[in-house]
Each structure stands twice: as structure tokens, then as C-alpha cells.
Structure 1
Amino acid sequence: MSKGKIAIFLLAMMCIVIPFSGCGKKGDEDKQMEKQYVQIELEKGGNIVIELLPEYAPKSVAFFLELVNDKYYNGLTFHRAVKDFMIQGGSPNGDGMGGSGRTVKGEFSSNGFENGLSHTRGVVSMARTNVKDSASGQFFIMHGNADYLDGNYAAFGRVVEGMEYVDEIANSPVDGETLIEKPVMKTVKVLKNYKPAE
């Protein structure tokens, strides 16, 4: 085969291969760009919908989804509230102790991971002990802004619907920081085909 024919052959092969490889890559990117939402249905009525943000904390999102799909949160409560700060839930006994029996690596800068999601009103983050990789299922939703938490806690989502229920819980009577009446999460599930209101 002459050099000219070889060049034409190689050019033709590139035209065939490039479109196929490009299509495959685009499909993967589209899949990664799909938004995922989790709904917390409160037993007394009302839903809190969380948009998950894996671009900031992928392991935290995967861990949270694993617990949601295992129905870990169903029937658990929000046990702690500090007005203008946050509400916290996911303790198996409703007392702020314990977790799922599994843990996830802390995705925040003091643990060697850059997480650019700031702890502003509506942001959802992993609760933990003083051990950096100890998050085990408890989480908190910001009622106010607290950027001093940035770099020490793994923020992984934000509320896109139902902040009025977060407000209601944050303003409920407490004994210290413990809610006197602990709102029950009736079901926590992944929403299919959810579109947040514009």
C-alpha cells in the first residue's frame, strides 16, 4: 500500500473512531450531571427536599444515599435544634448518640480534602465526633449561616423545598439543645424525576 493510501486509510479510521469515543464520553458526563434529590417526609406533615451535591463531597453523598436506600432514616427523629444555627437528626436512639455502624471519610480541608460548599442557611452537612472520619449517619441542616464550620464538616447538599419546616423545627421548644418534641422522619427516600420550583 502506498504512503498516500495509508494516509487516507488512517484519516478514514480517525473519522470513525472519534465520533464513537466522543459519544461515550458525553453519555458519562450527562450521567454525572444528573441531579439527585432526597425527600424527608415528616410524620406530622410536610416534606423537606434535599439536593445532593457530589461535586463537593462525593463519598458523603454516596454514603448518605446508601443509608437512605437501606431505609436507615425511616422512623428516626430530629433530636437537636439551635435557633439561627442548625437542626440535627439521624441518631438511632434519638439522643444524639450512635449511628449506622458504618463511617465515611470526612470530606473537609482540615482532613486533607477541599470542599467548597459553605455552611450557609439550608446547607446539609455530616455530623461527627471529634474524630475526623467518624460521620456515621447523623446529619444537620443549617438554619442560619456558620462559615466557621467550613473546613471541619462535610457539607454535601442543600434544601430546595421545605425550609419552612426546618424553621418550624428550629423554633420549637428545647431543653438546652434537645428538642422536647422530636419530629419523626416518617420516610426518607430518593425522588425520581423531581424538578425544583423555579
Structure 2
Amino acid sequence: MDCDRTKLTMQLKKCLLSFALLVAFIVGGCTSNGTATETSTPASVTETTSVPTEVSSPQMKDLPVLEGKATVVMTVNGAPITIEVDGTNAPITAGNFVDLVQRGVYDGLVFHRVVRTPEPFVVQGGDPQSKDPKVPPQLLGTSGFKDPKTGRERTIPLEIKPEGAKTPLYSQTFESEGVSSPPQLRHTRGAVAMARSQSPDSASSQFYFTLTDLAFLDGSYAVFGYVTNGMDVVDKIQQGDRIETAKVTQGAENLRNGGK
């Protein structure tokens, strides 16, 4: 009986910890007013191919798309982190990231959020205002990439492909749509995914590395790639460390709708 109680207590503590981390994670992805200010809300992709060439929203059609895969090398503290970006399974999310890398958006940005205790969680960065050392640390994590063409923050739809599906699910979490299968791209250690606010379509430029397997985030946040080399570098990142450079070393030709 005591053994059963101990097991139940441990399970409850684990659930509470996961919930607390999730709540903190959602808050960490907010825009300046705490919610997404610009969203796109396409319900689905009309094509049955993995690349959404025809979609229900004109705004979504204009977003960068990665057709296939690309390799990004990010340098932090003088050491490289190699990321395989998967446009086959997350074409818009991967395209957005590769486009921002090519624009030089990530160069000089700070990792403003690092959570390793009480358990390993994430290393998060990508807030454009973190390039300015005069911006107070408490404001970091509240902005995204401002598209020079529109003068507004560019956001992308939540994009998660169920395992075995032909196309991703857009603008909906698996829970809200009753999807029971796991995602094709999961939150295993070394996953790279987009941070967002409570609105599904609020991701912009902020991303995170997972420091351990985080299955409870699967189906709610969009993974778009994995660290293939340099996870030891990620493990050493501290809050306040900067991305020195981020470069596309392979697959740049797979990007369409990109810009400078």
C-alpha cells in the first residue's frame, strides 16, 4: 500500500512539473502584448503533396517554403551546432527558419531563456530585439521578426504532420483536433522547434533546442529539425550567450519565396 502511494505521489509530481514547464513555455513565447498580434488562420492544405503549394490563405501562400532539407550551422561560443532542417515534413516552418538564417536575422541574438532545473527542458532564443544590449532582459522573448516588406511582424501557422499523413495539420493542435497518432517530427533530445504564444499561429522567429525528450510538447509545438552535431555545445549554452553566426551550408536552393 505504501509502495502504491509512493508511486502515485511520484507520478503526480511529474505531471505537475510537466504542466508548470508547459505554462512557463507558453508565456516565454509571447509577443510584446502577451498574444500574437498578427496571425494567419488557414484551416488546411488543399494539395495532397507534402509541400503546400495551394492553400486557403493568400498570406500563407507568400510565406517561405523549404522543399526538401537544408543544413544550418550555428556558431555559439566559438563552436558549431549543425542543424538538419526538415522541409519535407514541415515545409513552412522550416522555410521560415532558413529564410531568417539567410537574412542574417539570428546573427548576434541572445539565448534569453535556458531551463535546466529542476529538470532539463529547453534553450530558447531568436528574439530580434535581443541584438540591442540596451533592451532590458525582462523584455526579451516578447518580439518576432518584422518583415521589411510589410513593416509588421511575420507569423507562421502552427504546422505539425501526423505520422503517416500526406500533409501537415495547420493552425490546430493534435489535442484540439482529436489526433491520436504521434507527430512525424517529435520532441526528442536535440529537436529544434518554434516557440509561440497561446495562439497556434503566433510563431515568428523564436526557436528552442530541447535538452531532453519532451513528449508532452508533441502535437502542440512545431518541430522542424534536429541537431545532428554539436549537442554538447547546446548543453553548455547559458542564458545571455549569443549566436555569433548562423549560415545555410547545404540546401539553400530548396528555399522558395525567400527574401533579403
Q: Give the alignment's TM-score, normalised by structure 1.
A: 0.71
In structure 2, distance between residues paired with 1:79 and 1:56: 28
The equivalent position to 1:98 in structure 2, one of 125, 143, 163, is 143
Runs of 4+ in 1 over 3 A off after TM superposition: 112-115
In structure 2, distance between residues paired with 1:81 and 1:154: 19
Is residue 76 from structure 1 mapped to residue 127 from structure 2 by the alignment?
no
Segments of structure 1 that go 5 or more residues without pairing to the other structure are: 1-31, 173-178, 194-198
Amino acid at match of 2:144: G
Is residue 67 from structure 1 mapped to residue 100 from structure 2 by the alignment?
yes
Q: Alignment length, in residue pairs?
A: 151
Amino acid at match of 2:231: M
In structure 1, distance between residues paired with 2:124 and 2:89: 20
Is residue 53 from structure 1 mapped to residue 86 from structure 2 by the alignment?
yes
Is residue 120 from structure 1 mapped to residue 188 from structure 2 by the alignment?
yes
In structure 2, distance between residues paired with 1:148 and 1:93: 30
In structure 1, distance between residues paired with 2:99 and 2:228: 21
Match of 1:40?
A: 74
- Displacement of 1:112: 6.2
In structure 2, distance between residues paired with 1:96 and 1:132: 17
Percent identity over paired residues: 41
Q: Give the alignment's TM-score, normalised by structure 2.
A: 0.54
Asked if the contact 2:173–2:220 (Cα under 8 Å) also holds between the matched residues in 1, the reply is: no
In structure 2, distance between residues paired with 1:36 and 1:117: 15
RMSD: 2.1
In structure 1, distance between residues paired with 2:185 and 2:226: 10
The equivalent position to 2:159 in structure 1, one of 92, 101, 107, is 107
- Displacement of 1:192: 3.4
In structure 2, distance between residues paired with 1:143 and 1:58: 24
Asked if the contact 2:84–2:226 (Cα under 8 Å) also holds between the matched residues in 1, the reply is: yes
